[in-house]
Chains A and B, each alone.
Chain A
Amino acid sequence: AQSVTQPDIHITVSEGASLELRCNYSYGATPYLFWYVQSPGQGLQLLLKYFSGDTLVQGIKGFEAEFKRSQSSFNLRKPSVHWSDAAEYFCAVGVNNNDMRFGAGTRLTVKP
């Protein structure tokens, strides 16, 4: 069965520090991979996506993610976190919209 695991429920980092959010998936084939961000009281906004090709994908707001097929992972990274990055982050996988699976989310807190 398809599943997405975000092992970290809550992460706290200092402003300016680097960030890595983990995402592991279980899927029959290589799915499309997404990272979304949700600010409080808002809907989800797409940060980046992987369909094929280069396994390192760049997104908005300085985020990037690397697809590692051997580890079934799609971790999100940012070299230097800003206070405005505080939000909840969701990893999603699927081969079409009808089949999309979302992780439970990782809440990011940024310390001044």
Chain B
Amino acid sequence: NAGVTQTPKFQVLKTGQSMTLQCAQDMNHEYMSWYRQDPGMGLRLIHYSVGAGITDQGEVPNGYNVSRSTTEDFPLRLLSAAPSQTSVYFCASSHPGLADQETQYFGPGTRLLVL
């Protein structure tokens, strides 16, 4: 199993540009989420999905869109990038159940710089 994979590893954008951060998992996990990590603030939840076709907002959703057409993939879209979106983005997945409830598996992250 590759686990949770993210692409690209690093991206530079200009203000106003759009892009999609890719996330895929091969563990058949129902739950997937996107976090951003900023210095001194830990991780904050952007959006999450409890299954294909179902998404919802987290703590800091503004400026980001998501969709979940398959169990495996959960892309994060920035429609018009802003310098405030400079951050490291992590995708995570989990499979709620008695044995491993709420344990999330994280991807390696995407470092985004918006100029």
Contact = CB atoms under 8 A, between A and B. Distances in A.
Contacts, number: 61
B42 A103 contact: yes
A37 B106 CA distance: 11
Given A51-B101, A98-B48, A43 B42 contact: no
Interface stretch (A14-22, A78-86, A89-97): A89-97
Given A42-B108, A43-B106, A94-B102, A102 B43 contact: yes
Nearest to A101: B42
Contact of B42 (A46, A49, A105): A105
B1 to A, nearest CB: 15
Contacts of B56: 98
A48 B44 CA distance: 20
A43 B91 CA distance: 9
Nearest to A98: B48
A43 B107 contact: yes
B112 interface: no
Contacts of A63: none
Nearest to A102: B42
Interface of A: 4, 9, 32, 34, 36, 41-46, 49, 51, 90, 92, 94, 96-98, 100-105
Given A9-B40, A32-B101, A97-B92, 4 more contacts: A41-B108, A43-B106, A43-B109, A44-B106
Q: Which 8 A-B pairs have the closest CB atoms?
A: A43-B106, A102-B42, A102-B43, A44-B106, A104-B42, A43-B108, A104-B40, A103-B42
